[in-house]
Amino acid sequence: MSTMQEMINEAESSLLHTYNRYQVVFDHADGVTLYDTDGKAYLDFVSGIGVFALGYGNKEYNDALKAQIDKILHTSNYYYNEPAIQAAKLVTKYSGMDRVFFTNSGAEAVEGALKAARKYAYLKDGSTDHEIIALNHSFHGRTFGALSVTGKAQYREPFKPMIGNIKFAEINDLESVKAQITDKTCAIIMETVQGEGGIFPATEEFIKGVRALCDEKDILLIIDEIQCGMGRTGYYFAFQKFGIKPDILTVAKALGCGVPVGAFLMTEKVGQNSLKAGDHGTTYGGNPFVCAAICEVFRQFEEKKIPEHAGEVGAYLYEKLEEIKEAYPMITDHRGRGLMQGLVFDREVAPVINAALEKGLVLINAGANIIRFLPPLVIEKKDVDDMLVILKDALNSLQ
């Protein structure tokens, strides 16, 4: 039997080195605990980068997928399938949107959203020189369209030229958005809470201001909730806190709680005036297997009141992380909403994350100097307490 180090060495001999992976091989998991191949337990505050909202080993979820495997996995979108019909009904119901297209990932959801926005504008005036405004510090994905609207130059630079006519403004600075608007602007894309870019929540004033601008000028508002949606901030979708609605919405990650699935949704107005038959497609998107997962996720979210629980435990996590911030001068800021929070340090956080991993706590960064907290939404206050013990130990070991 191979040792963990032997498995890591084998992986490095064949996998493309696009990740600087942590030196651990996870083997199985239960609840909010991961186990490596040596049997060591780790408290998980990453949840597969915001994916495993329902935790690991969820029997009802697993049983739903096993039942679908025994029925049918895939048919293609040339035909209807019952799980996709039910999943579409649920995701539109809980988001308040009208139409949905299922994708395989968040990046693909963003690609579809951008295409829909440009097609909407094209049908209005027949022009192909429309502009899209994105925000600095944003992250929307690694494919060319998604990367083009990602507000970190270092991600885009090696892959230029990007798709054209993209401008950038600042989050929570409405004047900076106004300054970028022209008569060619067709869409504004933003995250309700920026994730990879550093855990920057949009303020109520900003998000309502952007919505009003879009209404005034017939610009489409694309809201990306791939990371901050699906219950993470205490609402099914984070924008719902502000009583507004986007024209196009992107979701993924916890939508399937482990299976690769995303979606972009739109209002009826955009749906009737953008993508038509032949404009967009996907082989695997919305197949019966992933849609069975979506259906079970929404069933449990409602039955177990997962968003409400995330809001309650998120408030407790916020209170405790505030105490940590006050106790350690190296921590300069704390921000976030619900179970999506970040601690900002005056130094790189890799040593803290590595020390925590050694002590049995899984954390990730959001930029070189921010520790991001994205636990499963089913964590309890006791799990927060257990996390804090290990985090303090890791911080103390580095002072």
Write out pLDDT tens, residues 227-248.
Answer: 999 999 999 999 999 999 999 9
Write out pLDDT tens, residues 162-211.
Answer: 999 999 999 999 999 999 999 999 999 999 999 998 999 999 999 999 99
CA distance 142 to 149: 10
Q: Is residue 62 part of a domain?
A: no
- Determine the pLDDT at residue 398: 82
Q: Do 213 and 132 have their domain in common?
A: yes
Q: Using an 8 Å Cβ cutoff, are 239 and 225 in contact?
A: yes
Contacts 24+ apart (CB under 8 A), 218-221: 218/124, 219/181, 219/185, 219/186, 219/187, 219/188, 220/117, 220/120, 220/121, 220/186, 220/187, 220/188, 220/247, 220/248, 220/270, 221/187, 221/188, 221/190, 221/246, 221/247, 221/248
CA distance 191 to 251: 11
Which two three-digit tokens encode residue 38?
């040596």
pLDDT under 70: residue ranges of the chain: 1
Q: Do 31 and 152 have their domain in common?
A: no
- Examine the fold and report which residue of 303, 323, 340 is the final residue of a domain before the chain moves on: 303
- Determine the pLDDT at residue 152: 93
- Determine the pLDDT at residue 365: 96
- Determine the pLDDT at residue 1: 67
- Examine the fold and report which residue of 303, 329, 352 is the final residue of a domain before the chain moves on: 303
Q: Do 81 and 193 have their domain in common?
A: yes
Range of the structural domain that residue 87 is part of: 71-303
Q: Do 391 and 360 have their domain in common?
A: yes
The CATH number assigned to the domain holding 384 equals: 3.90.1150.10
- Structural domains in the chain (count): 2
Q: Closest Cα partner for 263 from 225, 296, 293?
A: 225
CA distance 268 to 32: 39
Residue type, 187: A
